[in-house]
A = this chain, B = another copy of it.
Amino acid sequence: MRYAILGTGIVGRTLANKLASLDHDVVIGTRDPQVTATRTEPGGYGIKPYSEWQESHPDISLATFRDAAAGAEVVINATSGGVSRAALTEAGAENLAGKVLIDVANPLDFSHGMPPTLDPVNSDSLGEQIQQAFPDAKVVKTLHTMNAQIMVEPSRVPGEHHVFVGGNDADAKAHVIALLGEMGWPPAAILDLGDITSARATEMMLPMWLRLWQALGRPDYNFHIQGA
């Protein structure tokens, strides 16, 4: 299947690498491919420059948000939450219409210092904002409640733990649930929380995820709903 992954950070690269390893066609979307491809300084969180990562992933191509989305059957939003709507607007509503749009971003607001706050919060969510802005896309919120490495290799955390799924379109969720299965998530680990308003709840787990990172000093844990 042809996937577009919007975003060149750790999450985007990790998902791209995994999907390519599963024999999917993967194009990464970015605002300006020329700038991304020639950048030589490390990215956020000290990750290696994209050009260096690209060398070891020759099967994964880079394109504009628009071209990546246009050529894809499924689009994954792996941009930073604060710029997700702008990135998806660049991708173009017509290139998202009718497609499964997997939203793995979190609306973290770093403008007030650390730890980041959430915006929107409470009675709205990034997942809902994206669904509302692109009503013809089939938005499914998932995978945003854990470290990127665990998204694609859940067995890194021994024992049972959950990945949450929320969205309005049953077929789109079924697609995502199948994809999660391909990535190693057992059926019992996939918890469908209903429609896209469930993103309010799951996005609000991020402060806990961040606090646990601080308390444990490592990111190799995940949420499990015991008794679910």
Using a CB–CB cutoff of 8 Å, the interface residues on chain A facing chain B are 112, 117-118, 121-123, 157-161, 191-194, 198, 200-202, 204-205, 207-208, 210-212, 214-216, 220-228
Chain B, Cβ-Cβ closest to A226: B161
A201-B208, A204-B205, A207-B204 in contact; A161/B122 too (CB < 8 A)?
no
- Name the B residues within 8 Å of A228 (CB-CB): 212, 216, 221
- Check if A226 sits within 8 Å of B122, measured CB to CB: no
- Name the B residues within 8 Å of A200 (CB-CB): 207, 211
Task: Report how many copies the assembly holds.
Answer: 2
A157-B226, A193-B212, A227-B157 in contact; A118/B112 too (CB < 8 A)?
no
Given A160-B226, A223-B226; 20 other pairs, CB 8 A cutoff: A117-B122, A118-B121, A121-B121, A121-B122, A159-B226, A193-B211, A193-B215, A198-B215, A201-B207, A201-B208, A201-B210, A201-B212, A205-B205, A216-B228, A221-B225, A221-B226, A221-B227, A221-B228, A222-B225, A223-B225
- Name the B residues within 8 Å of A205 (CB-CB): 204-205, 208
A74 to chain B, nearest CB (A): 25
How long is the Cα–Cα vector from A224 to B222 in the complex, in angstroms? 8
A125 to chain B, nearest CB (A): 10
- Name the B residues within 8 Å of A192 (CB-CB): 215
